[in-house]
Chains A and B, each alone.
Chain A
């Protein structure tokens, strides 16, 4: 593509102008408003809004469940991707397609159905609750629903990498006398690490910002199962806009850091595979 396209093809200023206008109005100005509002607080006020025992508990809870569920996602997602790429079984295409359901299913529906499945009378709860496993209105419930949301990120990141693995490397390892597990851990696994890390980061980012499904299943108990976005909503309902915004800014900074990290990871893995 050459810059001289601008002389040949029409619509450069129109399309770029519209793009910039639309993004400014819809995304950049609102974001700026968010930061302006937060900075209208004094440092002490900001700190008081952002760092209370309740908000700290919420950050801790949000991070803990997001990290635990992302770990669960990469383990389970790895097994699923491996099986889908390497083995054959009935209805494989349908199972493959269903992996994307968490992308397409509204989060409110996920929350609603998960909250019903794991209570004592639910389909799965009737077996699990007698064993002392509470998959609804608990920390575990949030981990479950976030794992549901995280798995497709991992599977869809791993699948193309697993498919592109060169057969001859495995063959060479085998011919050189490596055992099956040696081949896996020394030859296959290292090439999957960038994709696994990217999948982890993507599902972590999703988990940190998630609201819809979590409010259904967590029970929203302050200090125990309350996530940071719930606190924002609570502050808003008290018309404490500035305090709500302060917490929002903390979340925004975290998610921008995640975004930069994901971009770096993707660049790293591109170089890794090149």
Chain B
């Protein structure tokens, strides 16, 4: 996900100052084109998901979700896999941001670049890599079988695949925030006798909480929605290794459109909630960064 935050204040001023320049006809034409594009590509599909899901009425919708035990299992599986992946990447994100923004070490910028690596790997390739390590023909396959451990075609594989795909989310939100805040308050806390954990809970965490939450929300949305990577490692065992997106695909293949759209509507709801929280948090993190920029009197360094 590209990290481009914009200031709505500038946006509001901007539109007032420049709006009179373009002829009315151009303004209307472009606005119409933009709204038509957004409507066709985004709004109509969005409405259609809920229309299709509820086409058979509310009782049918409910039955499609709850009476179908395989669908119910897929929901439960997603609710188990996604939070585990999010927590793993939350801990990783904190560690990585702390190391990268608070210390100098050789290879620091390389490490920062490497964190984004999973974004540029096709999800299917990510799944394949896990197969090569842990699948029956994989490097650790025979060893795992000897000890009767199963990773591929079972929940641990799903968790690993999801962790890989969502690895950068928390770290890449935290790094700019912590960079902007700077280490001064933490150094002060330590100098005044706080130990590491006290400093973390009382100084660091309160400073970064909104940025952290923002990263977690984005990470969770992707974790619950991941398709390609888990598709490869799941083995498609109905009722056991199908997450919600995989269930959507299976029901679609079985020509069970109402069932498929019912599951899809839940995922769409998740996306909408994510968007709302994102809008709210973006404002908060912007304030956080502005605050940090005001405290640190080094213009040009706090970006």
Contact = CB atoms under 8 A, between A and B. Distances in A.
Q: Are A and B interaction partners? A: yes
Contact of A109 (B34, B41, B199, B225): B225
A108 B264 contact: yes
Contact of B125 (A144, A164, A229): A229
Contacts of A37: 132
A157 B2 contact: yes
Contact-residue size bin, chain A (C-beta under 8 Å from the other chain)? 35 or more
A30 B130 contact: yes
Contact of B120 (A18, A117, A259): A259
Given A86-B22, A248-B128, A163 B10 contact: yes
A137 interface: no
Nearest to A20: B111
18 contacts: A3-B104, A12-B103, A23-B167, A106-B225, A106-B227, A108-B248, A113-B45, A113-B52, A113-B261, A116-B257, A148-B45, A157-B4, A167-B17, A209-B121, A211-B122, A229-B228, A245-B132, A251-B125
A105 B105 contact: no
Interface in A98-117: 98-110, 112-117
A15 B120 contact: no
Give the 5 A-B residue pairs with the shortest CB-CB distance, closest first: A106-B225, A212-B227, A209-B122, A30-B129, A10-B196
A8 to B, nearest CB: 5
B215 interface: no
Interface of B: 1-2, 4-7, 10-11, 14-15, 17-19, 21-23, 27, 30-31, 33-35, 37-38, 40-46, 48-49, 52, 88, 91-92, 94-96, 98-105, 111, 113-118, 120-126, 128-133, 135, 137-139, 160, 163-164, 167, 182-183, 186-187, 190-191, 195-196, 199, 218, 221, 224-228, 231-232, 244-246, 248-249, 252, 257, 260-261, 264, 267-268, 270-272, 274-276, 278-279
A85 B249 contact: no
Given A3-B104, A98-B38, A11 B133 contact: no
B2 A233 contact: no
Given A99-B38, A153-B2, A208-B122, A88 B15 contact: yes
Given A23-B115, A106-B245, A15 B99 contact: yes
Contacts of A80: 34, 37-38
